[in-house]
């Protein structure tokens, strides 16, 4: 499935690091940043998460919720969140169903080996649940600035 700007964001309910679950459609009335990242506590993912952490006051002023999703377990999310003092919710998609629905579960290659993993991607969803912006194959440096500009 390929999602495009203007599409209704596919709904999901996932467990979170808080011990509860989060449902995308329950967040209607606010903009939501859903960012998919490969793995907790890896260099690029830590840099990206800390960028969202540091800029959260700007997102809060615009009534924007930040939600990070990976296939890591809730236990790993809790450790990552605590270590990096993250101030937003991390959701666990251990089955990969949401990753598949959003088209971020991709074949990748490194050092000549191919494998499947999450393609770093960010979706900005408006108050009515429509996709406003999509960033695929995200390069972490400068990404947070692009996302901030899009909510202005």
Would the pTM of this model clear 0.75, i.e. be above it? Answer: yes
pLDDT digits (tens, 9 = 90+) for 70-111: 999 999 999 999 999 999 999 999 999 999 999 999 887 778
Nearest Cα to Cα of residue 9 among 23, 17, 19: 23
What proportion of the chain, given as a percentage, has pLDDT over 90?
A: 88
- Domain segments of the chain: what residues? 29-151
- Cross-strand bridge partners of residue 68: 35, 90
Q: What is the pLDDT of residue 81?
A: 97
Could you tell me if 148 and 52 are in contact, meaning their C-beta atoms sit under 8 angstroms apart? no
For residue 71, give both structure tokens: 């296939």
Under the banding of pLDDT at 50, 70 and 90, the label for residue 1 is low
Question: What tokens appear for 76 in the block?
Answer: 């790993």
The predicted structure's pLDDT at residue 117: 85
| Least trusted range by pLDDT, from 15-19, 64-68, 105-109, 125-129 | 105-109
In this prediction, residues 121-150 reach a mean pLDDT of: 95
- The confidence band for 133, taking pLDDT boundaries of 50, 70 and 90, is very high
Q: Do 71 and 93 meet the contact criterion of CB atoms below 8 Å apart?
A: yes
Q: How confident is the model at residue 2 (pLDDT cuts 50, 70, 90)?
A: confident
- The catalytic residues are 45
Query: pLDDT at position 39, please?
Result: 95
How much is the pLDDT for 131? 97
Nearest alpha-carbon partner for 67 in 91, 92, 86: 91
Q: What is the pLDDT of residue 91?
A: 98
Q: Which CATH superfamily is domain 29-151 in?
A: Glutaredoxin (3.40.30.10)
């Amino acid at each position: 499935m390929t999602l495009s700007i203007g599409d209704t964001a596919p709904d999901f309910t996932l467990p979170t690091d808080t011990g509860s679950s989060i449902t995308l459609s329950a967040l209607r009335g606010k903009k939501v940043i859903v960012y998919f990242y490969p793995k907790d506590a890896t260099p690029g993912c830590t840099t990206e998460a800390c960028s969202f952490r540091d800029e959260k006051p700007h997102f809060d002023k615009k009534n924007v919720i930040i939600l990070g999703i990976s296939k890591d377990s809730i236990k790993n999310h809790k450790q990552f969140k605590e270590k990096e003092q993250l101030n937003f919710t991390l959701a666990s998609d251990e089955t990969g169903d949401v990753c598949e629905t959003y088209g971020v579960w991709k074949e990748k290659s490194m050092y000549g080996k191919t494998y499947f993993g999450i393609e770093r991607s960010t979706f900005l969803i408006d108050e009515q649940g429509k996709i406003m912006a999509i960033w695929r194959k995200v390069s972490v440096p400068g990404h947070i600035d692009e996302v901030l500009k899009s909510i202005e």
